[in-house]
């Protein structure tokens, strides 16, 4: 509910658009350099980050180090011994970019 | 809050303990076979799954395929070109096993 209220906020839209654009540029460069697997979109990357970085409820602090989950997930972005991915990669604006902007 | 109420439920404790034990056995076998990177514990695996499989709020259905995030994260479990992980891997009961059982 808090997110529903925040989502259309103009400052939020502007910052999100700027963040998405920056990540999208970084991802394009990483693809060009062969640093990441070529079957992933920047939208895949953003959704994975969003999932891994969300706090996990019900786990006592001290026994969970989210940095480890993050490091494992990031290793999954590397090219090399990868398994084929299901479906199609989402566009860069999957977490809010162009669609909100169009509603401005 | 729902989770706080469910957590100590005896059936929940029993099922969770059984699930954790099964995953722990599977993980031990995967380690023996060299199918997963040796610097991960089964607790790391469970926390990663819990993170990746939680529904992501605020993303329109149809643009997000959680199977893709899952496939990427699972590729991060493979041995090979891995980056060193921070901290120490959690024990298998990180998502609830022995600690709840001790309170039975």
Residues of A near B (CB-CB distance < 8 A)? 3, 7, 40, 43-44, 47-48, 50-52, 54, 56-59, 63-69, 71-78, 80-83, 85-91, 94-96
Which among B44, B72, B90 has the least Cβ separation from residue A76? B72
Place of tokens 């895949």: A44
pLDDT of B103 reads 35
How confident is the prediction for chain A on average, in pLDDT? Answer: 83
Please list, in sequence order, all residues whose beta carbon lies within 8 angstroms of the beta carbon of residue B84, skipping any fewer than 6 positions away. Answer: B39
Residues of A in contact with B12 (CB under 8 A): none
SS3 readout for A33-65: CCCCCCCCCHHHHHHHHHHHHCCCCCCCECCEC
> Tens of pLDDT along A33-68?
999 999 999 999 999 999 999 888 877 777 788 889
Q: Which of A51, A65, A70, A78 has the most B C-beta neighbours within 10 Å, making it the best mutation to test the interface with B?
A: A51
Nearest residue to A31 via CA among A79, A75, A73: A79
Nearest residue to B76 via CA among A29, A52, A60: A52
Nearest residue to A64 via CA among B47, B53, B51: B47
Contact (CB<8Å) B85/A63: no
How confident is the prediction for chain B on average, in pLDDT? Answer: 83
Residues of A in contact with B4 (CB under 8 A): 58
Q: Which of B43, B60, B70, B76 has the most A C-beta neighbours within 10 Å, making it the best mutation to test the interface with A?
A: B76
Share of chain A above pLDDT 90, in %: 45
pLDDT of A104 reads 32
Please list, in sequence order, all residues whose beta carbon lies within 8 angstroms of the beta carbon of residue B10, skipping any fewer than 6 positions away. Answer: B104
> Tens of pLDDT along B11-59?
988 998 999 999 999 999 999 999 999 999 999 999 999 999 988 887 7
């Amino acid at each position: 509910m808090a997110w529903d209220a925040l989502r259309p906020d103009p400052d939020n839209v502007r910052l999100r658009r700027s963040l998405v654009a920056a990540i999208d540029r970084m991802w394009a460069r990483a693809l060009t350099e062969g640093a990441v697997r070529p079957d992933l979109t920047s939208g895949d990357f953003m959704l994975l980050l969003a999932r891994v970085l969300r706090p996990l409820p019900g786990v006592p602090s001290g026994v969970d180090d989210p940095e480890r989950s993050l490091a494992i997930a990031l290793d999954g972005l590397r090219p090399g011994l990868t398994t084929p991915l299901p479906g199609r990669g989402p566009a860069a604006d999957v977490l809010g970019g162009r669609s909100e902007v169009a509603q401005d």
